[in-house]
Amino acid sequence: DLVKRIRLRQVKTGEESALEVAGIFVSIGLKPNTDYLKGILPLDVTGHIITDEKMKTKIPGIFAAGDIRHNSARQIITAAGDGATAAIYAEKFISK
């Protein structure tokens, strides 16, 4: 009963509109914010970081986990699992 309408703004054109709703589900975005990594880490065509199954990137000691990673399921539970995997292998890397 709290949300009845949302106001939308198209980011490219600035056009504004309103939409009657019964509720909302927030999604931050589908495009990862990885432009700053171009030429540093391998990215797929959509901008996600390419890792192996241990969350390692091509640069030793750099790991990526969660939604930013190529082939991620883009779910909270799998992102948490990715984070745990990355932490385990990062600790092993540091302990060498």
Arithmetic mean of pLDDT, 43-58? 97
The residue written with tokens 């000691």 in the block is: 61
pLDDT tier for residue 10 given thresholds of 50, 70 and 90 = very high
Between 65 and 23, the more confident residue is 65
CA distances from 49 to 12, 33, 79, 93 (A): 26, 10, 14, 19
Would you mind telling me the total number of residues written for the chain in this entry?
Answer: 96
CATH number of 30-95: 3.50.50.60
Burial 31-59 (b: 16+ CB within 10 A, else e): ebebeebeeebebeeebbbebeeebbbee
Q: Is pLDDT at 6 greater than 80 in this prediction?
A: yes
pLDDT tier for residue 28 given thresholds of 50, 70 and 90 = low
Arithmetic mean of pLDDT, 10-26? 89
Q: Is pLDDT at 47 greater than 90 in this prediction?
A: yes
pLDDT of residue 16: 96
Domain ranges of the chain: 30-95
Distance CA 76, CA 92 (A): 25
| DSSP-assigned states of every residue in 13-57 | T--EEEEE-S-------SS-S-GGGTTTS-B-TTSPBP--TT-B-
Q: Is pLDDT at 1 greater than 70 in this prediction?
A: no
User: Which amino acid is it at 86?
Assistant: A
pLDDT tier for residue 22 given thresholds of 50, 70 and 90 = confident
